[in-house]
């Protein structure tokens, strides 16, 4: 009997040890989004919901954010391992904090074009960038479009404008009320928010930065130097699982929104599906993204952006593009080939 008991006890201990080893092989990763759980967040929530991260032996926690600047600083502080942030915000952090011990780097491009636009109501008479001269523009002080406006302004020879600052929830309301003549914001965020306030899409003038000579990159996945150095295999596994999920999202945005609804039950499913589709069409499956390849960048374009951001943001030091980007963790070209051909 004692022998049988010992055999059982040994078997139980072995099973516990095996379980513990399996658990130890799962790498926890804290991921910081740039914004709330809206449509585009599906790109990170789908691989969680589908078990792609889990299959890659990663335990990924995705948290909502309150702006790209916050995502950059939280990854820099070590609170988060990876994040999603506007590349211009990352460049600004590098240039303004040259002595920071932990400067995050971009490891995968997701928004190949900046989603920033200037938006106005047609009844304002604003039709072209030149019409913005002397007008009152509104946006939160940290808004990516507002920060990059000097680049848009220079590219289109726009005269002086006056700025009004507000909290993000008031931006579109103030435009609709006539408190400001135009706003800057991400197209897929502000345009749909304007519609939600009773204005038809055809009554809105949308000047997307990429259509008016501003070739800035948008949001990228960023990583702390610590995780890149200590666990490069986990970073590669994350990007591979993310890419698999991204393919699902692009193929079926309506289904992908279910993962967002699971995180925030009060979202408007139809609205967020449209927001996600708009993001896919304008900044993810764009002509430049297809030319450069999903997740990837063009060196000369990155160098130009670094120079433009240095000037527009009036940074303490010049941005060095080679310090911002590390593409060595990207999946293979075959894995990254997920962008469907444009419909004719």
Cα distances (Å, whole numbers) of residue 147 to 40, 138, 280, 314: 22, 12, 23, 10
Domains annotated for the chain, with CATH where assigned, are: 27-112+217-336 (3.40.190.10), 116-212 (3.40.190.10)
CA dist., res. 264 & res. 328, Å (int)? 34
Query: Half-sphere exposure of 29 toward its Cβ, with a 13 Å CA cutoff?
Result: 37
List phi, psi (to 5°) of 35.
-150, -170
What is the reported pLDDT for 25?
87
pLDDT digits (tens, 9 = 90+) for 275-334: 999 999 999 999 999 999 999 999 999 999 999 999 999 999 999 999 999 999 999 999
What is the reported pLDDT for 341?
83
Give me the DSSP letters along 161-193. -EEE---GGGHHHHHHHTSSSEEEEEHHHHHHH
Where do runs of H (alpha helix) occur along 264-325? 269-279, 287-292, 299-312, 321-324
List phi, psi (to 5°) of 59.
-110, 90
What is the reported pLDDT for 233?
98
The neighbouring-strand residues paired with 63 are 32
Which residues of the chain, if any, have pLDDT below 50? 20-22
CA dist., res. 136 & res. 124, Å (int)? 11
């Amino acid at each position: 009997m004692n022998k049988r008991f010992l055999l059982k006890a040994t078997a139980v201990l072995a099973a516990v040890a095996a379980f513990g080893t399996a658990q130890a092989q799962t790498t926890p990763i804290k991921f910081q989004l740039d914004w709330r759980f809206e449509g585009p967040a599906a790109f990170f929530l789908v691989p969680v919901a589908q078990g792609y991260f889990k299959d890659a032996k990663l335990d990924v926690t995705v948290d909502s954010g309150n702006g790209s600047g916050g995502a950059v600083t939280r990854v820099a502080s070590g609170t988060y391992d990876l994040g999603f942030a506007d590349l211009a915000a990352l460049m600004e952090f590098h240039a303004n904090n040259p002595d920071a011990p932990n400067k995050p780097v971009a490891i995968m491009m997701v928004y190949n074009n900046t989603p920033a636009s200037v938006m106005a109501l047609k009844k304002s008479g604003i039709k072209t960038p030149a019409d913005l001269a002397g007008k009152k523009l509104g946006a939160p002080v940290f808004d990516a479009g507002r920060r990059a406006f000097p680049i848009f302004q220079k590219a289109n020879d726009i005269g002086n404008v006056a700025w009004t600052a507000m909290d993000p929830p008031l931006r579109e309301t103030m435009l609709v009320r006539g408190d400001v003549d135009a706003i800057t914001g991400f197209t897929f965020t502000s345009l749909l928010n304007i519609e939600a306030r009773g204005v038809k899409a055809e009554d809105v003038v949308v000047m997307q930065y990429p259509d008016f000579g501003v070739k800035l990159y948008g949001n990228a996945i960023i990583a702390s130097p610590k995780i890149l150095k200590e666990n490069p295999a986990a970073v590669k596994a994350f990007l591979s699982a993310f890419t698999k999920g991204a393919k699902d999202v692009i193929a079926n945005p309506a289904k992908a929104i279910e993962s967002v609804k699971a995180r925030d039950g009060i979202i408007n499913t139809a609205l967020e599906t449209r927001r996600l589709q708009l993001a896919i069409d304008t900044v993810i499956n764009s002509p430049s993204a297809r030319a450069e390849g999903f997740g990837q960048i063009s060196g000369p374009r990155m160098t130009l952006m670094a120079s433009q951001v240095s000037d527009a943001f009036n940074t303490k030091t010049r941005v060095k593009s080679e310090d911002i980007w590390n593409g060595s963790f990207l999946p293979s070209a075959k894995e990254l080939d997920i962008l469907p051909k444009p419909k004719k």
